[in-house]
Structure formats: C-alpha cells, structure tokens
C-alpha cells in the first residue's frame, strides 16, 4: 500500500535522467568525475550520520575509507577472495575498527572522540605507508579489475552504474535509520543528552553504534573508490582529506541527507573545474566554511539553511507584491527569529 507523492515522482524522473548519463555523455572523464562524486556522497552521508545526527565531531573519516579500501584491495588482489566478499569485507573491517574505537569511548568517555579520531587517522596513514609487505608502502597498492559473478567491470559505464546502485542502497538504508527509533535517538542525544537519558536512551551505546554504522558506510565507499581507481595510496588518507570529507555534509547542511549528496558533489566537482583550484582547495574551502558559518551555519539544505532562507525571501517578496501580508509566513518568521537559547 504505497502512496506515491509528488516528491517520489520527482525523484524517479531525476533518477531516470541520471541513468541515461553514460549513454548521452561519451566522455569517460566526466563519467569518472560523476562516479567519484557519488562515492564521496556515500562518505558524506556516513559523516552526516555521525556528526549531523548524533553530534559527535569526527576528524578521522578518511582513515576509515582507507581501512575499507586497503582491506578490500589486499584481500581481493593478494588473496584472490571473490570480489563481492572482499568488497563487503572492507566495509565490515572498517566497521570493526570503528567498533574498537567506539568501545574505547564507550568505556571511557566520548568527550575525547575528536582527538582520538585525529590520532587514529594518523596511525592508519602511517601503517598504510610503512607496512610495505602488505600495502606496498608509499608507492601505492594496485588492485586487479573487479568482477561480479563473471561480469567484469571493465568499462566506465559499468562502474558508473555500480556506484549509482551503491549510492542508492546506502542512501535508502541511512534514510531508514534516521527515520527510525535509532535516528530519533541520535538526534535526541545531539539536542540534549540529559533529556535523552531521561527518555530511556542508553547514550553511550547509541553513540557507539552510530559510530560503527557510520564507519561501515565510510568503509564501503572507501572500498568502492579503491576498486574503481584500482589503486590505493597513503596520501589519499590524510587529515586534510578528512577535513574535506567533513566539509561535504556541513556545506550541504548537517541533518539533511540530500544536502550531503549536494555538498559532496560540489566539493568533488569544483577541483576538477580547474587545476588551480585543486592547488588552493584547502584555502578556498576554509574561506567557504567561514562564509557559510557566518551566513548559513546550517548549510544549503539544513534547517534555516540557504534553501530555507531563499524560500522565505521569495514568499516574503510574493506577499509584498500581492499587497497583503502573507500571514502564516509572517508568523513563522517571528517565531523562528528568536531561536531559543537553551541552557545547560
């Protein structure tokens, strides 16, 4: 008994158009860039779950992408495990490492999560770089071409669809999680830990599980990236990289899942526009973040983010042009104007 509404129709149309991209555009470079954006979208979604929903600041996401990627690549190429198992294995391995960190915080305190993730990401990078016999050190690790039940992913088109299906699956699952009791628990913890505890939420367990789930999705995207480029190098898993990943959901609006995809797309497409931009990307992203924090702390699609502000502006203009004040909107503006300052 599914009711189909306007939004869903819009989504399906968008998807159908998107599916045709590899046919219409023959330029493999563009397809590659779009696929890359889709994989980064998964990472942005996973970060949104951890940072935007449960409110834990994590600076080491690239390490988990690296763990998923390296594990999957090594198991697949060196040990010839079937692709699908190696691929899922990478995600599970990232989740497992996330569980270790989560457990550490579970039995001490989540106050240090940010520092721990920074340290952890540095450790991981060093391991990727130094464990020469397994990871081939700073030369990077080359993987063989993935195949799936006898079907070889040897065209850009097939990889495009692989990324698309992966993104859709991850999006659906993450969306379901955020709409469920679990997701509400995360948001409650983010908004007020004491009230959350008084609602019977086991805060430490919830934070830990959220971290593990997030790590799974980061890991799966990391594995997909490595199989896509057939190459993994320690320089892809630095703190800089983590910061850029963190900016994606922030730009899109923490708490908004479509926002994460837009944020990831913007930040992966921009560096491709010009090489100069790539060199100065950290500078540019820093400035972007400062501007964002000043004018739209909730990003593009977050609550009262840029989209909401534009919508408010439009309806205000429209109301003024009609000559009579748009009452409902005027009221809304008043109540939203003084955001409550809650103590403690």
Partner 1 sequence: MGVIMKVENVSKHFAGLKALNKVSLEINDDEIFGIIGPNGAGKTTFFNVISGFNSPTSGKVFFAGKEMTGSNITQFCTRGIARTFQNIRIFSEMTVMENLLVGMHNRIHSTFFGVCMNTRKQRDVEKKAADKAMEIMEYLNIATFANEYAANLSYGTQRLVEIGRALASEPKLLLLDEPSAGMNQQETMELMKLIQGIRKLGPAIIVIEHNMKFMMNLSYRIAVLNFGELLMVDTPKEVQEDPRVIEAYLGKGEEY
Residues 6+ positions from 23 with CB-CB distance below 8 Å: none
Q: Which stretch binds partner 1 (CB under 8 A): 129-137, 232-240, 264-272, 335-343?
A: 335-343
Minimal distance, residue 232 CB to partner 1, in Å: 28
Distance in angstroms (rounded) separating the CA atoms of residues 283 and 270: 13
Q: What distance lies between CA 64 and its chain's CA centroid?
A: 12
Work out whether 320 is an interface residue with partner 1 (CB under 8 A): no
Instruction: Lay out the site mask for partner 1 across 252-291 (x = CB under 8 A, - = otherwise).
Output: ---x------------------------------------
Position 107 contacts partner 1 (CB under 8 A): no
Candidate segments 15-23, 84-92, 181-189, 282-290, binder of partner 1 by CB under 8 A: 181-189
| Contact residue for partner 1 among 197, 230, 266, 289 (CB under 8 A) | 197
Nearest-approach distance from CB 209 to partner 1, in angstroms: 9
Please pick, from the candidates 190, 258, 266, 269, the single residue that binds partner 1 as defined by CB under 8 A: 190
Terminal Cα-to-Cα distance of the chain (whole angstroms): 45
Pick the closest to residue 290 from 326, 240, 245, 251 (CA basis): 251
Q: Is 240 in the site for partner 1 (CB under 8 A)?
A: no
Contact set for partner 1, span 126-145 (CB under 8 A): none
The answer to whether 213 and 81 have CB atoms below 8 angstroms apart is no
d(CA 20, CA 113): 42
Tokens of 308: 């909401």
- CA gap 172, 257 in Å, rounded: 10
Residue 80 makes contact with partner 1 by CB under 8 A: no
In 3D space, the residue among 168, 172, 169 whose CA is nearest the CA of residue 180 turns out to be: 172
Where along the sequence are the contacts to partner 1 (CB under 8 A)? Answer: 173, 176-177, 180-182, 184-185, 187-188, 190-192, 194-202, 255, 303, 332, 335-336, 339-340, 342-344
């Amino acid at each position: 008994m599914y009711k189909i509404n306007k939004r869903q129709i819009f989504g399906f149309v968008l998807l159908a158009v998107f599916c045709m991209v590899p046919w219409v555009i023959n330029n493999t470079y563009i397809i590659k860039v779009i696929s890359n954006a889709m994989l980064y979208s998964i990472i942005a979604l996973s970060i949104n779950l951890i940072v935007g929903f449960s409110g834990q600041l994590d600076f080491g996401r690239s390490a988990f992408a690296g763990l998923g990627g390296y594990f999957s690549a090594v198991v697949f190429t060196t040990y010839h495990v079937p692709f699908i198992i190696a691929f899922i294995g990478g995600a599970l391995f990232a989740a497992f490492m996330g569980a270790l960190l989560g457990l550490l915080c579970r039995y001490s305190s989540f106050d240090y999560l940010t520092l721990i993730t920074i340290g952890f990401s540095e450790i991981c990078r060093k391991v990727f770089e130094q464990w020469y016999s397994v990871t081939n050190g700073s030369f990077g690790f080359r993987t063989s071409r993935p195949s799936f039940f006898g079907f070889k992913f040897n065209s850009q088109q097939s990889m495009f669809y692989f990324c698309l299906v992966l993104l859709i699956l991850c999006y659906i699952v993450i969306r379901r999680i955020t709409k469920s009791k679990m997701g509400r628990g995360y948001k409650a913890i983010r908004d007020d830990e004491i009230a959350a505890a008084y609602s019977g939420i086991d805060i430490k367990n919830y934070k830990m599980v959220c971290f593990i789930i997030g790590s799974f999705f980061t890991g799966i995207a990391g594995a997909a990236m490595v199989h896509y480029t057939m190459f993994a190098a320690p320089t892809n898993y630095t703190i800089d990289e983590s910061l850029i990943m963190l900016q994606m959901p922030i730009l899109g609006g923490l708490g908004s899942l479509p926002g994460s995809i837009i944020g990831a797309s913007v930040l992966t497409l921009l560096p491709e526009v010009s090489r100069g931009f790539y060199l100065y990307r950290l500078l540019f992203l820093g400035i972007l973040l400062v501007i964002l924090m000043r004018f739209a702390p909730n990003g593009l699609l977050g609550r009262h983010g840029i989209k909401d502000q534009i919508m408010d502006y439009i309806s205000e203009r429209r109301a003024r042009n009609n000559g009579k004040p748009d009452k409902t909107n005027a009221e809304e503006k008043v109540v939203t104007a003084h955001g409550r300052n809650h103590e403690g």
